Structure 1
Amino acid sequence: MAHKIPKFSELPLDKNGPHHNAWGLYGKDDQLGTLNRLTDDIVKAASSEIQTGIRIGLDWPLDAQKDIPLFGRQAFHKEVYQKTPRIVNDDVWTFNTQSSTQWDGFRHFGYQKEAVFYNNTTLDQIHGTNGTPPTNTLGIGAWAAKGIVGRGILLDYHAWRLAQTPSPPHYNAFETGSISVADLQRVAEAQKTEIRFGDILLVRSGYMEAYAALSRAEIEAVRAKQPLTFTGVEQSDEMMEFLWSNFSAAGGDHPSWEAWPTQREYALHEVMLGGWGMPIGELFDLEALGRHCGEVGRWSFFLTSEPVNVPGGVASPPNALAIF
């Protein structure tokens, strides 16, 4: 099947815009970016991944980081109250949409030097400042109409790394380190996982296992570091081309998706969110998924995710399921 997207070498599309942008590919008012790749035909084809009916949730609990979420974000709070005198309960939740598993929306991270978001959207348009009326442009609620649904693949870097004997590649979840395209391709080859255009990519780095082993004092020490440091996918032309050429969305189990702080003069967040409109997933709980994939020898599945329908929202819990 031919897929009509520009080659990576043809970016930027808008020559007046920042590096590697794909502005205007789906029109100047587009709200979906690379989610446009999830056509009806691609989603229908992905449904063939459903063979056993086994379902695995990918959301970490909303209160998983309790009162010490990273990046200074607000903790989840739940209030359950009785509607007296009836035997009826209601509850109220307050939380930062990025304090647990999340999709980063296109309002979250723009090009830093140019101070613009996807399709040349400005801070003034988002916030209604400097005489510009506020809008819901690029709000994550636009994704809710069709959701993020298609063929998901897990590249289980963590399992692959540990299998490299006698000396697995160095990995420390809490120091700046890069996972290369070459290694992700080796993972896919070892798993015999075919990458198809429009796939939703998930990378299991090993972060969740490492985080679960920390004491509270150790988590507080990690949280106090400035800047925070994490291992994630590398910043490189090769990584950008790999992502651009294949996927509709990409994410992983760690807090920053990419190596943090960035090791280049740009961040992947700028290019993916601000340049292409490619959703970034972070803090996905991939432990049960990784175990099941290893048991059945299949790392592809039908993935369904319904972001919360909040007009103008910046990010959302994914409400994601992998279905086999």
Structure 2
Amino acid sequence: MVHEPNNWGRFGPDDQRGTLNLLTPALVLEALRSAVTGEVLSLAMPIRGATSSAAPTTVPHLRGRPLPQHFMSVDGGDYAAGARPVGDGLRVADDALLVTHHGTTTHMDALCHMWTGDELYNGHPAARVRSYGATRCGIEHVGGVVARGVLFDVPRHLGLDHLPADFRIPAGLLREIATPRPGDVAVIRTGWPLAWERSREEYWAGQPGLSAEAGAWLAGLDVSAVASDNAAIGGLNAHQLADEPAADDLHLILLHRHGIHLIEMLWLEELGAAGRTEFVFVAAPLRIEGGTGSPVTPLAVL
């Protein structure tokens, strides 16, 4: 059992959804009141091509990770020989396979994605996580997320296009922008994907992100999820690793201790330009049984 502040046992001994339990029907209805204009923005990065093509190099990703791969059976070039005939001269191009990986596309981390010791979130045994899937805290327990989103546009607040690579966002800076309510999804814009458009090497030189105290502050306010346009919620160094000791690791603070799902590698430029701090946040992962995560297309309804 962890001894730091945590949500273990709060939602029952068998809980596998964490703070998503806060999203009651009444809270979802209240969140829907955050929509004013009805405009819908996608907050997802694109998935392009396959590793063998040049297309994936145009999408932000962590160096060395398996790239998103999208195979189609249409031209025989990358998966199957020819499109499938369906009669009367018609032919169909089938999506045959989609492979994604943490750190390479917009995705949600499941509560089984990271842990310490022998226990997942809520004391579930880590031994139940195997190569064939996790039998506890898998991504299939998420369902759909409909909540009030709160945008923390940190670089805009500071008058910057994007944060520097070594910037770690303190709790006080978040507090200057907004204070989320229980059940809200905290959406953190660092602007770092803009560095990719300028220089791949600059993007891989590190990443800005939340500090440990900022993550603990959000957890203490009972957010239902934390989302960001960087690759790890927290910051990364030039080796694309976190510098914090294990006790301050954002994945352990949020996923493991508090049961707060993480959504990473969003595209937040249009949302930031819209100037809206509050909106309706919608996301649903693929129902991958035992999955440690899933690609998602989060939506902001303004």
Q: Which residue of 2 aligns with 1:77?
A: 69
Does the aligned pair in 1 maintain the 2:148–2:279 contact within 8 Å?
yes
2:174 is matched with which residue?
Answer: 184
CA positional deviation for 1:44: 0.5
Whether contact under 8 Å (1:73, 1:96) holds in the other structure is no
Unmatched 5+ stretches in structure 2 = 50-54, 74-82, 237-241
Equivalent positions of 1:203-282 (< 5 A) are 203-215=188-200, 218=201, 223=204, 229-236=206-213, 239-260=215-236, 261-266=242-247, 267-282=249-264
> What do the CA deviations read for 1:114-161 (whole angstroms, capped 9, x no partner)?
2421122333212189xxxx75211101112xx111100111001111
TM-score, with normalisation over the residues of structure 1? 0.78
| Deviation of the 1:18 alpha carbon | 4.4
The Cα offsets for residues 162-181 of structure 1, whole Å up to 9 and x where unpaired, read as: 16xxxx9x9423xx431101
Residue 71 (structure 1) shift:
5.5
Q: CA deviation at 1:26?
A: 0.9
Contact 2:38–2:301, Cα closer than 8 Å, also in 1: yes
What is the 5 A alignment of 1:21-170? 21-63=6-48, 66-67=56-57, 69-70=61-62, 72-81=64-73, 82-84=83-85, 86-98=90-102, 99-111=104-116, 114-127=117-130, 136-144=135-143, 147-162=144-159
Using the size of structure 2 for normalisation, the TM-score is: 0.83
Tell me which residue corresponds to 1:6. Answer: none
Partners of 1:257 and 1:101 lie apart in 2 by 12
Moved over 6 A (4+): none
Q: How many residues align?
A: 276
The alpha-carbon distance between structure 1 residues 88 and 290, as it changes in their structure 2 partners (threshold 3 A), is: same
Q: Distance in 2 between matches of 1:284 and 1:35?
A: 19
Correspondence for 2:268: 286
Among the aligned pairs, what percent are the same residue? Answer: 26
Q: Residue type matched to 2:45 in 1? A: W
Deviation at 1:239, TM superposition (A): 3.9
The alignment partner of 2:48 has SS state of coil
- How far off is 1:75 after superposition? 1.1
Separation in 1, partners of 2:56, 2:3: 38
Check conservation: 1:106, 1:118, Cα contact below 8 A.
Answer: yes
Q: In the TM superposition, what is the alpha-carbon distance from 1:52 to its structure 2 partner?
A: 1.4
Kept in 2: contact 1:235–1:262 (CA 8 A): no
Q: 1:269/1:214 Cα in 2 relative to 1: closer, same or farther (>3 Å)?
A: same
Shift of 1:308: 0.7
State the superposition RMSD in angstroms: 2.5
1:308-319 aligned within 5 A: 308-319=286-297
1:84 Cα deviation (Å)? Answer: 3.6
CA distance in 1 between partners of 2:273 and 2:118 (Å): 42
| 8 Å contact from structure 1 (residues 76, 93) kept in 2 | no
Greater helix fraction, Structure 1 or Structure 2: 1
Q: Distance in 2 between matches of 1:126 and 1:246?
A: 27
Distance change >3 Å, CA 305–CA 135, structure 1 → 2: closer
Matched residue, 1:11:
none
